[in-house]
Chain A
Amino acid sequence: MSHFALTVIGRDHPGIVAQVTETLYRLGCNIADSSCTILGGQFAMILIISHPQYDSLESFGEAFDSLEESGLSVFVRVLQPGGEASPQLHGEFCLISVYGSDKPGIVYPVVKELGDRQINITDLNTKLVGPPERPVYVMMIEAILPPNISLEQLTEVMAELKAKLQVDISVRDITPVEL
């Protein structure tokens, strides 16, 4: 069965999820993984979907036109076979909090250090908070450490960055406990 990545974004209001999933339900699509959230004033949906017969973008025809007409932006991408399967992620999970007075160049220097060390980011969100005259930038990263990097090593790397970027950074273990 072919799988597709569907993203939908539009000005937030109640009923978007119902509208989108009604369309999918009527088409006979399955929703596998999905994540939906408010970003700024927008509601953003990312879904992995499948359909027993559909195998290309053309299969959807004009199915999403009504969503577009109601002000949502819809994008569909065909996944390569196997692209729907979650990878087995092993290693220590950590959460990195980065926050400080808002300024350009906070995200990239932090995530570059992670990428350079093959530290896999599994979740990342950023938010601008605080009063307009003193905005504070907050970034939360969940990542998995490869076996050759310890939490202590990552903490050291982040401590250096903290001094360089003049932001606060803390790192902690959030490896789930299996009970």
Chain B
Amino acid sequence: MAVREILYYPDARLKTACAPIAKLDEETGVLIQDLLDTMIDSGHSVGVAAPQIGVSRRAVVVDVSGSKLGRDNNHGQLVMINPEILEQSGQKIMREGCMSVPDYTGNVARAEEILVQFLDRCGDRRVIRATGFEAVAIQHELDHLDGLLFLDRISSLKTNLFRRKKR
């Protein structure tokens, strides 16, 4: 299969909402393998979404098991087709970056825990509860399917420690 080039913003495909995958045919199989190959090849990457390699379909791969932050709490390599977040709770702020937006990072607040439903590589429906870094990574990749970048989610400039919460 193939390691594909990661698209950079302002490529319009990164700002396009993706269509669901209707059936798991050979084309889908190729897409999934390309996503995995691209994620693994990029070494540091913990996830890739289909639009990042130029395919406007709802599929992502995530694997935080090799990263310091996700090592102890993960579901291993996840292939997620037509994923959907069913429930979310809590809040976790992380400084995020993205392969498609080089040289920029920002603090993003996301749910700390999510219940997410998807089809796996074999077409079986799965529902998992992800927490911590894995949950953040999944939410980041799922945003790509709706044409959202982390830039759309930045919650504070630098530290927001001096800002008081609205009561």
Contact = CB atoms under 8 A, between A and B. Distances in A.
Nearest to A174: B95
Contacts of B161: 97, 138, 140
B69 interface: yes
Contacts of A129: 162
Nearest to B161: A140
A178 B159 contact: no
B105 A176 contact: yes
A179 interface: yes
A138 B161 CA distance: 10
Interface in A7-65: none
A179 B162 contact: no
A177 B46 contact: yes
Contacts of A127: 162
A70 to B, nearest CB: 26
Contacts of A179: 45-47, 96-99, 136-137, 140-141, 150
B39 to A, nearest CB: 11
Contact of A177 (B133, B141, B158, B162): B133
A142 B96 contact: no
Contacts of B47: 179
A86 B141 CA distance: 28
A178 B44 contact: yes
A125 interface: yes
Interface string B72-114: 0000000000000000000000111111000101000000000
Contacts of B45: 178-179
Contacts, number: 51
B23 to A, nearest CB: 28
A152 interface: no
Contacts of A138: 161-162
A175 B46 CA distance: 15
A97 B162 CA distance: 12
Given A174-B95, A177-B136, A178-B99, A142 B105 contact: no
A95 interface: yes
B94 A125 contact: no
A174 B158 CA distance: 11
A110 to B, nearest CB: 16
Nearest to B143: A179
Contact of B98 (A93, A125, A175, A178): A178
A55 B112 CA distance: 51
A11 to B, nearest CB: 20
Given A177-B46, A179-B98, A179-B141, 9 more contacts: A142-B158, A142-B159, A176-B96, A176-B105, A177-B95, A177-B97, A178-B44, A178-B45, A179-B45
Interface of A: 86, 93, 95, 97, 123, 125, 127, 129, 138, 140, 142, 174-179
6 contacts: A138-B162, A178-B46, A178-B97, A179-B45, A179-B99, A179-B140
The 7 A-B residue pairs with the shortest CB-CB distance, nearest first, are A176-B105, A176-B95, A179-B140, A178-B97, A176-B97, A140-B159, A174-B95
